[in-house]
Amino acid sequence: TGVKNVYALQKIAVEETRLGIPLIFGFDVIHGYKTISPIPLGESASWDIEAIEKSARIAAEEAAAAGLNWTFAPMVDIYRDARWGRVMEGAGEDTYLGSVIATARVKGFQGNDLSDFSTIAACAKHFAGYAFAEAGRDYNTVDISNTTLHNVILPPFKAAAEAGVATFMNSFSELDGIPATASGYLQNTLLKGQWDYRGLVVSDWDSIGEMQDHGFSADLSNAASQAINAGNDIDMEATAYIRHLAELVESGAVAESVVDNAV
């Protein structure tokens, strides 16, 4: 972080690499960058939507001034188990309030035009069901009904999508026995299909690699093919795509058009 560091690295990326593709600098700007606001749950308890949007706007201006382009916020998960350790990061248990706050925070971070240098791209997370992990244990299995999924969990995500959120992040957890990172239903059928979402989907931190821990992927190469074919565009941290995508395309396990779509 910091303009000096960002500029130095961006100069290398644009001027000294084969394709000259600029880097995107992302950071967890959750409830403030330099000026710290109440935690998101505290903000939501105020029911002051204007103040919540302003909080995100201030955070965006400060983060953008430091050279950042992207925040991994807002977390729009609805949760109803106080044992879950990340309750502080969202808007609470009510779907309607959570949807209104999701919209406000996206607007605060992104403004009306992402080409404005004072804005940063937002990221709606964690798609989907993350906060309904059994016994409130992070990364655990999620086993819920379609009624709960569509009427409780998904509306804040749809609100974020309709507000123009630039990115989505999928979830560490599994849903119906399938890790969200490899869920073609969530990412392709629902998000990019029924909702006609045109932004990108990023994995959570090593969630592609952790599909092996779920017992879903045989190895990292298998996880890479499962994730990208399901609609996961960017691999955060697992290095699965860097290591294996080229060979997966060459073998026919992943169509080149799928990679083109992610790009």
CA neighbor of 173 nearest in space, from 124, 137, 146: 137
Backbone φ and ψ for 105, nearest 5 degrees, come out as -70, -35
Sign of CA dihedral 133, 134, 135, 140: negative
List, as one string, the DSSP characters of 137-148: -TT--B---HHH
213 is catalytic: no
Secondary structure of the chain: what % helix, strand, coil (to 5)? 50, 10, 40
Beta-strand relationship, 178-179 and 174-175: antiparallel
List, as one string, the DSSP characters of 68-129: --EE---B------TTSTTGGGS--S-HHHHHHHHHHHHHHHHTT-TTSTT--B-EEEEETT
- Which residue among 28, 77, 94, 204 is the active-site one? 204
> What is the chain's length?
263
CB atoms near residue 65 (< 10 Å) = 13
Active-site residues, by number, are 204
